[in-house]
Amino acid sequence: MRSAELDRRKVVRSLLERRGALLVVAGLGSAAWDCTAAGDHPLTFPLWGAMGSACMMGLGLALAQPKRRVLVVTGDGEMLMGLGSLATVGVQRPANLAVVVLDNERYGETGMQKTHTAYGVDLGAIARACGFEARIVRKSAEIAAMRSGVYRGRGPLFYQVKVTPETLPLALPPRDGAYLKQRFREALLGGKSTA
């Protein structure tokens, strides 16, 4: 196994700067903190629970908004809990959906225990077998191509980004789920958000 050199916060900042009309769902834990560190945004829905649901929320959003790009940013542990959702996305094949898994091979919120990817389980191969265009990202030089895929590539796309396992300062989004939901709908749907 090669050691991971990528800094997860820099990776996410690179994806979310100049984000235009991008819609984002962030999986619980470090992935949500990374997105918040890049700038809290009404069109980012950060999860604080419902582990394993990020990819499916991205799918529901992508199907509802086929003209907008949808990005799911999550961790390897969260993705592992919802592996079946990769198969479900594979049936729908939404062209506007990208899933970025920040893979530090650890459960970062619970004591840095190893996840299945640390033992060699290949998330990218699983996603590819489900019908995603799947890539692994290990180097800074590969981030630009990933960003291009997220904003312009034909989905469903899956990027497994090998990042350094480290505990970073918390960057917490708002905790009120009803607020997070409504601000997202207002920003996206405007006057129809209360319908």
Which residues of the shown chain bind another protein in the complex (CB under 8 A)? 23, 25, 45, 48-65, 82, 84-85, 87-88, 91-92, 177-178, 180-181, 184-185, 188-189, 192-193
Identity (one letter) of the amino acid at 64? A
* Minimum separation from the CB atom of position 176 to another protein (A): 8
Based on CB atoms, which residue is closest to another protein, 9 or 29?
Answer: 29
Name which of 64 and 125 has its Cβ closer to another protein.
64
Closer residue to another protein, CB minimum distance, 82 or 108: 82
Tell me the β-bridge partners of 107: 113
Q: How near is the Cβ of 92 to another protein at its closest, in Å?
A: 6
CA–CA separation, 158 vs 170, rounded Å?
26
- Which residues 6+ apart lie within 8 Å of 180 measured at CB? 45, 46, 173, 174
Smallest distance, another protein to C-beta of residue 31, A:
15
Instruction: For residue 137, give every residue at least 6 positions away whose Cβ sits within 8 Å of its Cβ, in sequence order, or none.
Output: 6, 11, 143, 146, 159, 160, 161, 162
Shortest Å distance, C-beta 181 to another protein:
5
Question: Which residue reads 């629970």 in tokens?
Answer: 49
Contact at 8 Å (CB) between 106 and 113? yes
Q: Closer to another protein by CB, 139 or 181: give it.
A: 181
Give bridge partners of residue 72 from the DSSP assignment. Answer: 25, 99
Tokens of 127: 């996603």
Least separation in angstroms between residue 3's CB and another protein is 33
Q: Which is nearer to another protein, 9 or 46 (CB)?
A: 46
